[in-house]
Amino acid sequence: MPIKNGAEYIQSLRGRKLKVYLFGELVKEPVDHPMIRPSINAVAETYDLAVEEPELASAKSSLSGIQVNRFLHIAESAQDLVNQNRMQRKLGQLTGTCFQRCVGMDALNSLYSTTFEIDQKHGTQYHKRLIEFIKMVQRENLVIGGAMTDVKGDRSLSPSQQEDPDMFVHITKRDSKGVYITGAKAHQTGCINSHWIIVMPTMRLKAEDKDYAIVGAIPVDAPGITYIYGRQSCDTRSMEGGEIDAGNVMYSGQEAMVIFKDVFIPNELIFMDGEYEFASMLVERFTCYHRRSYVCKTGLGDVLIGAAAAIADYNGVANASHIKDKLVEMTYLNEAIFGAGIASSYMAHKTASGNWQNDDMLANVCKHSVTRFPYEIGRMAQDIAGGLMVTMPSEKEFRSPETGPLLEKYLKGRKGVSTENRMRILRLIENMTLGRNAVGYLTESMHGAGSPQAQRIQIARQMQLEYKKKAAKKLANVKEGEAAETAPEQSDYFDKIFGTKDKKKVK
């Protein structure tokens, strides 16, 4: 039976006997661990939103013929990609954290077109296998995690040059039924909260790296997988009881290291096996999807802007001109991110496989903005909040019969605002800019889907400087060589902007 809602999703995670380590100890049941449960709650919201707003968070799949969660949908139009962005922003507003399903969604879509093109060249059956896998997870309504980032070891060396070959996930042996892989993936978002993990290469590969060119789907509870849970700032506050100090008691993100030791992938779940020349295509298409998926941070930005406005009100300074100006600036930065991301989706094109790929230049502009703007939004939220955000006594002090009345008196804001509500908003701002969910809002913004230099490289590749120089020289009536003879030709990128299909000359 398919999972219908968030409650059923949470129940589906029970009793899987995962090998999860936290604080050096094996976790008996991750669902019930107070540090892990908030991240599970965040994923559950992706199910409930599909029930409450099906037009936003679900779509009719032409593969399975049923209405499916949008995180499992293969984009069949530019509007599908736009709706992904709208859904991502809404979920950011609902959770104030990372809801952990974007990697899987973007992995499925990038693999859809890449496997099609591998099959065209090599006569393989990867695309057909992938479609059958997608139809299965759509019918059962499962969570897919994507595992791309290897631990890398010596970054100056390729995978096959590493002293320890396990620094990149690779095939260790094979038989007639499939392959076995060993290695580790770092920073894996929502991996423990997923049902399946899709393992992918992390970089361009060469012929000697053929054993590292492996893509396959693996159940999260497959034998040979060990998970080591990642720490987050202030994460143990969720184990202290109470609500205020956690800042966001209901939701959090999740990152873990995933270690594979001779983990089996059957042939029917292998979607690349040695086709090393397609590794770069897969990585570039995945990062193209995923970098515009970072519009999810605008939902978190909405929450932080709201918290900053609320604390200004609680402090009695909501009408101060500098406060209003900061809120305007925060909103401008947040909408600039969203504008680039959703424009990338609107400027999508249809691939040879039939699904739709968003625009790469605008995706990289979106993600590069995300590496900067959330930090500035966070800085201004801290500015508005004041120093009490990080020096405020604990909730236990507030609940104490001895110190509680003193804090009730001396931490009060403007008339009509409860001291407790003021404390709650301050802790939420701390949580999102310094605490546990600063991972989902700030650190992920910097390093997720590639650090800033990765976007700059892609932007540099697509700057179209020669085209722009010719356009400028034509208007200035510069006469030099061929530039005096011909008008500049449009690039593919500008063809999309101008709505032209052929390489027309600018008139």
Classified as helix, coil or strand, 458 is helix
- Type and span of the H or E element at 255: strand 255-266
Residues forming beta bridges with residue 257, ordered by sequence position: 228
Cα–Cα dist 193/20, whole Å: 11
Catalytic-labelled residue, pool 290, 366, 395, 433:
290
Longest CA span, the chain:
87
In degrees, rounded to 5, the angle at the alpha carbon of residue 237 between the alpha carbons of residues 15 and 9 is: 30
**Active-site residue flag, 127:** no
- Alpha helices by DSSP H, 371-418: 373-385, 388-391, 395-399, 404-410
Catalytic-labelled residue, pool 46, 73, 95, 98:
98
Closest-CA residue to 126 (of 268, 239, 261): 268
Angle between the 126-140 and 102-122 helix axes, to the nearest 10 degrees? 150
Cα–Cα dist 9/480, whole Å: 66
Q: Is 149 within 8 Å of 321 (Cβ atoms)? A: no
**Active-site residue flag, 102:** yes
Cα–Cα dist 343/340, whole Å: 5
**Active-site residue flag, 366:** no
Q: Is 275 within 8 Å of 213 (Cβ atoms)? A: yes
**For residue 422, how far is the Cα from the chain centroid?**
31
- Between strands 20-22 and 225-229, the pairing is parallel
**Active-site residue flag, 290:** yes
Closest-CA residue to 441 (of 4, 98, 75): 98
Cα–Cα dist 29/51, whole Å: 27
Closest-CA residue to 40 (of 191, 166, 233): 191
**Active-site residue flag, 255:** yes
Catalytic-labelled residue, pool 189, 351, 371, 433:
189
Cα–Cα dist 407/398, whole Å: 6
Catalytic-labelled residue, pool 45, 275, 395, 444:
444
**Active-site residue flag, 288:** no
Count Cβ atoms below 10 Å from residue 331 Cβ, excluding itself. 15
What six digits make up the tokens of 249?
A: 């008691």
Catalytic-labelled residue, pool 255, 275, 395, 430:
255
Q: Is 345 within 8 Å of 81 (Cβ atoms)? A: yes
Cα–Cα dist 139/61, whole Å: 10
Strand order in the sheet with 178-189: 25-26, 20-22, 225-229, 255-266, 178-189, 170-175
- Residue 120 backbone zone (phi > 0: left; psi -120 to 50: alpha; other: beta): alpha
- Between strands 196-199 and 67-69, the pairing is unpaired
Catalytic-labelled residue, pool 126, 251, 276, 294:
294
Closest-CA residue to 229 (of 450, 45, 436): 436
Residues 6+ apart with CB under 8 A from 397: 403, 404, 407
**Active-site residue flag, 191:** no
Catalytic-labelled residue, pool 115, 251, 287, 296:
296
Catalytic-labelled residue, pool 33, 97, 102, 287:
102
* Catalytic site positions: 98, 102, 189, 255, 290, 294, 296, 444
